[in-house]
Structure 1
Amino acid sequence: MINPTPSNEPDPAEGAAATHYILGGAHIGVAIAERLRAEGQQVAIVDEPSPSEDIPSVVGDPAAMDVLAESGVEDASTVIAATKSDRRNLLIAQLVGVQFDVPRVLALVNDPSRRGAFADAGHEPLCVTTMLSEAVGEVV
């Protein structure tokens, strides 16, 4: 089920697809989407349940083929797999890259030791743990 889209945003299910899709992630996914949107990017979220009323979204499992097809993800220039699970993010990244031929797939990684597996699979890993520790190191 597609959430109502704000009047100034294209509906991702009507062909005017967002160029960036955030798959899962709850509050992290919303934060990423809000940041991209603030930078003028088109963005949509696929998650269960929908984490935002302000960003175009498709409610559903971001690892389900039918949900991804409904979302219009095949037209995305970038997809970010942002669930809480490294394994699920790798699965979603593989699915999107192979089934929908998305040119750029980023995936959140929580455990730094798994970063290589994501890179070896052809995805851009974003290690949350490393980025957070580096950010704290800059502030302290």
Structure 2
Amino acid sequence: MFEGDSSYYVDYNGGRMPLSDNYTARVPIVTGSVDALDKKKFASLLRYIYDDPFLKKNITGMVVRPTGGISMMNRNYDYEIMFGRIVNVEKKFNNYKAFFQNAVKDTLIGQYETINLKFTQQVVCTKKTGEWKETALQ
């Protein structure tokens, strides 16, 4: 995590851990307004990502906005995942996984600029050309 001029890891319980000269953990890089977040909810979100093999492999970074909303980055694709506030975490990630499976299958995954997970009943995407695409999830 980067906060001001300092960098550190966040442990499984949300506590700070110093960086190591001998080991680099494969965890998301977090930047932004971390103070705007509820630390317990944020630690819970990081644990959720860490405990899920798909998310652990694919979520490489997070930006915490001054409003407390979170954006995430995917390892293999150049789009922003607009996660929003730390609510309905399981539902949002299930929506993302369903979207991801369909988009990869349809070979459209590389055409998106943003994947918006803020809504619980749908994933709203913006294509790189600026066009909207809405995916309803049942």
**TM-score, L = length of structure 1:** 0.29
Please state which structure has a larger fraction of its residues in strand.
Answer: 2
Structure with higher Rg: it is 2
Q: TM-score, normalised by structure 2?
A: 0.29
Q: Which has the higher helix share?
A: 1
